[in-house]
Structure 1
């Protein structure tokens, strides 16, 4: 993973973030025209490792899809996966030191939007020499980013891949709801927990429940014969994440998405659109209202309901069944 400074960035609110650092990973080679790039966008609580072998996120790894001749073909395309603004895996966020105070931004980190997140990605790509995107694709929160790209920089994006995601933000998952969840913990300290030992216990328990909700336990049933083994692996994954993530990032990113709703603008999308949902996804289940709304998209599109027991995790676990869809996205 690399980190690049994109300089100061003016947020949609008008507030200026000084010296924004962006963590990212690349695969393949950018062509001389800067026109063969693909941006892979990650989920709410994961980072820029979706294409990197040995890494596993809540959405699953896409490393098996990457390589010469693979659906994510490194002989043809230059892939970039960057950590979101406000996240906790290397990009400027609440855990970053605020130069004005010498301490982490913490709960004082400014509110950001999907527009800001995509704008920071755009600045990063410019600095990397990218002039055009063959596609933007990602699962869950990454799907929202792909849609935002198609609307914010329509002249730059050929295709958008939206997997196990939606066209609006689910109710009950906003910044205030997240803040209240954390405030119930004695480790919270009003969001200033950095000097009080952090919030490992709270994050660990939260992650265990999230992985179960995402369908990871169902995946382990296919791989591990005993309940004890499955529980041990769930706990290992949860400990690893709880050691690294920042609760304030969860609040910031929830706030960035809570007003996300592209329904009024779907007819503006000109990019080729891949939209995949999973039949057992509790967060973004198949919804006739969504399929009807997608009729407004004027460009070429492919909609598919993936029949899988793996719920929100299906975009990673079922990668073999997505190969044809991704080849359609990147002809």
Structure 2
């Protein structure tokens, strides 16, 4: 069946219990699917997005026809070949693109959660995704794949649901968060609260926090080497204009408290003491200039995983693009990942 043609873009479940013990009255999980699920439901691959991205991973299916963030590797004849695999991409818990988060309406109060949204963990995110996979009737995924925070989710899946997938493809990440989000969180919260529209966390009712979110996004894009990406392609003045336009558009979409909720969860991520739970085979890829997860740590991480009993293939990418490299230069790791993925089916 072509499950990417399903009309309802969300899976809903009632009474979702978080690790904290707090119960969300309703949990919606937004997702997109690409390709056909076979009769055995054995060809499904779950792909994971980064902190501020969406579940729109491929094609141009959105109203504004934006390209999916992994469009270069999802589709016919690509790494995640949609003639062979059913690729599922879900929006993470706490985000702003359809899955339950701070912008969602709290059924108990009939207003947006805003600053009242409870603390969540990366494990909560994985469990929310698992509820979707279970609802689709998939007992075991072929693979879970993602980069950056999406890669952290891959590690979480590997230890929380060790028998739920054959393989993990994890890029730009590791078993412990190195993003520094916990240290930066007080400054982020203070910046949001300083806006006149903060309204005790219910900023949506006061006009939103568009200006401060635009400034935050500009800083983030610059850290992603946004300017370097367009070097030689267009004048610097035009790139700067594009930078500000891109940031403003994102600020219209992304909820300020989602940024807080997700960064808090990411800062607390650490599964280094659970590596012995991993059953799935791992393809692990890092870039030599990544400022968070440099390739220099890769062999040590892989060796620790092997000592714990995991099967790990480590691949190093050389690039000047840092943490952004595996996204913009997939040709530097996709051939090796293709071999790994093919081996999962033997």
Shorter-chain TM-score: what band? over 0.9
**Corresponding residue for residue 254 of structure 1:** 263
**Counterparts of 2:311 and 2:181, CA distance in 1:** 31
With the length of structure 2 as denominator, give the TM-score of the two structures.
0.89
Shift of 1:321: 2.1
Q: Is the partner of 1:26 in helix, strand or coil?
A: strand
**Corresponding residue for residue 83 of structure 1:** 91
**Counterparts of 1:299 and 1:99, CA distance in 2:** 43
Judge conservation of contact 2:168–2:283 (CA < 8 Å) in 1: yes
**Corresponding residue for residue 312 of structure 1:** 323
**Corresponding residue for residue 23 of structure 2:** 16
For residues 97-148 of structure 1, the C-alpha deviation after alignment (integer angstroms, 9 at most, x for no partner) is 1122111111111111111111110010111121111111111110010000
**Counterparts of 2:206 and 2:300, CA distance in 1:** 50
**Corresponding residue for residue 276 of structure 1:** 285
2:66 counterpart (29, 42, 55): 55
Q: Is the partner of 1:73 in helix, strand or coil?
A: coil
Q: Is the partner of 1:81 in helix, strand or coil?
A: strand
With the length of structure 1 as denominator, give the TM-score of the two structures.
0.93
* Deviation larger for 227-236 or 84-93: 227-236
Judge conservation of contact 2:46–2:144 (CA < 8 Å) in 1: yes
**Corresponding residue for residue 206 of structure 1:** 216
Aligned Cα root-mean-square deviation (Å) = 1.8
Q: What 5-or-longer segments of structure 1 have no aligned partner? A: none
Q: Is the partner of 1:275 in helix, strand or coil?
A: strand
Judge conservation of contact 1:263–1:293 (CA < 8 Å) in 2: no
**Counterparts of 1:208 and 1:243, CA distance in 2:** 13
Q: Is the partner of 2:115 in helix, strand or coil?
A: helix
**Counterparts of 1:180 and 1:84, CA distance in 2:** 25
Judge conservation of contact 1:107–1:192 (CA < 8 Å) in 2: yes
Shift of 1:318: 0.6
Note if 1:322 corresponds to 2:329. no
Identify the structure with bigger relative contact order (alpha carbons < 8 Å, sequence gap 6+): 1
Note if 1:292 corresponds to 2:303. no
Q: Is the partner of 1:8 in helix, strand or coil?
A: strand
Note if 1:104 corresponds to 2:112. yes
Shift of 1:176: 3.8
**Counterparts of 2:75 and 2:314, CA distance in 1:** 25
For residues 164-196 of structure 1, the C-alpha deviation after alignment (integer angstroms, 9 at most, x for no partner) is 122211264124453233234334333221111
**Corresponding residue for residue 3 of structure 1:** 10
Judge conservation of contact 1:33–1:131 (CA < 8 Å) in 2: no
**Counterparts of 1:86 and 1:95, CA distance in 2:** 9
- What is the correspondence of 1:28-67 to structure 2 with a 5 Å cutoff? 28-53=35-60, 55=66, 61-67=69-75
**Counterparts of 1:218 and 1:93, CA distance in 2:** 33
* Deviation larger for 180-189 or 39-48: 180-189
Q: What 5-or-longer segments of structure 2 have no aligned partner? A: 1-7
**Counterparts of 2:232 and 2:311, CA distance in 1:** 37
Cα 1:222–1:266 shift into 2, 3 Å: farther
**Corresponding residue for residue 241 of structure 2:** 232
Judge conservation of contact 1:43–1:140 (CA < 8 Å) in 2: yes
Number of matched pairs: 326
